[in-house]
């Protein structure tokens, strides 16, 4: 019995460090939606699986903010079908964002929703957030850091924990 309790405790502690907390202090609905998004994107920790499922188009190299303290975004891989439809599906983001791992390779860290202004002139809303304009691509965008904690916030563009080579 004691051994089972220790194993259960160890599993819970390990899980707490491996799975990011949705948003401490936020409402249950947001936490539920973020957990649904995690479940929907969990298979795409493998970039090969993501590519096979449609997120095969590399959009960027590793994007870093000019101020290193602000951090980076990472590499963006798009699903062209999702990009072209002009709609937002919370469980099918237009872009998966990967950051470099310290030992090499890439890890899934975030998703990005993108709606081009020519397809929708009004900024969409999702997770209680209004998308903001990225004038460089003339699109409404929203990041969600569902796989890597972001000290700047769940929906911030840049993450101080992401460093580009």
- At 2 the pLDDT is 41
What pLDDT sits at residue 28?
87
Report pLDDT digits (tens) over 37-65. 999 999 999 999 999 999 999 999 999 99
d(CA 162, CA 45): 16
What contacts 67, CB < 8 A, 6 or more positions away?
A: none
CA–CA distance, 131 with 143 (Å, rounded to integer): 9
Which residues of the chain, if any, have pLDDT below 70? Answer: 1-26
Q: Are strands 55-58 and 72-79 parallel, antiparallel or unpaired?
A: antiparallel
C-alpha torsion 25→27→29→31, nearest 10: -10
Q: Are 129 and 90 in contact (CB under 8 A)?
A: no
Q: Where are the beta strands (DSSP E) in the chain?
A: 55-58, 63-64, 72-79, 95-100, 106-116, 125-126, 129-130, 132-134, 139-144
Supply the pLDDT for residue 17.
Answer: 32
Q: Which residue has 């904690």 as its token pair?
A: 149
SS3 at position 105: coil
**Residue 87: per-residue pLDDT:** 95
Instruction: Report the residue count for the chain.
Output: 165
């Amino acid at each position: 019995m004691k051994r089972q309790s220790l194993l259960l405790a160890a599993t819970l502690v390990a899980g707490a460090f491996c799975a990011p907390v949705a948003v401490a202090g936020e409402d249950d609905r947001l936490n539920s939606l973020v957990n649904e998004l995690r479940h929907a994107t969990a298979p795409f920790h493998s970039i090969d699986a993501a590519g096979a499922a449609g997120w095969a188009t590399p959009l960027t190299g590793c994007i870093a903010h000019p101020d290193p303290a602000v951090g980076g975004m990472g590499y963006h891989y798009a699903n062209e079908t999702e990009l072209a439809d002009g709609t937002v599906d919370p469980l099918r983001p237009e872009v998966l964002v990967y950051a470099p791992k310290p030992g090499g390779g890439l890890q899934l860290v975030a998703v990005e929703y993108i709606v081009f202004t020519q397809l929708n002139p009004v900024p969409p809303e999702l997770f209680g957030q209004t998308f903001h304009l990225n004038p460089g691509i003339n699109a409404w965008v929203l990041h969600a850091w569902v796989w890597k904690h972001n000290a700047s916030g769940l929906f911030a563009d840049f993450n101080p924990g992401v460093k580009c080579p």
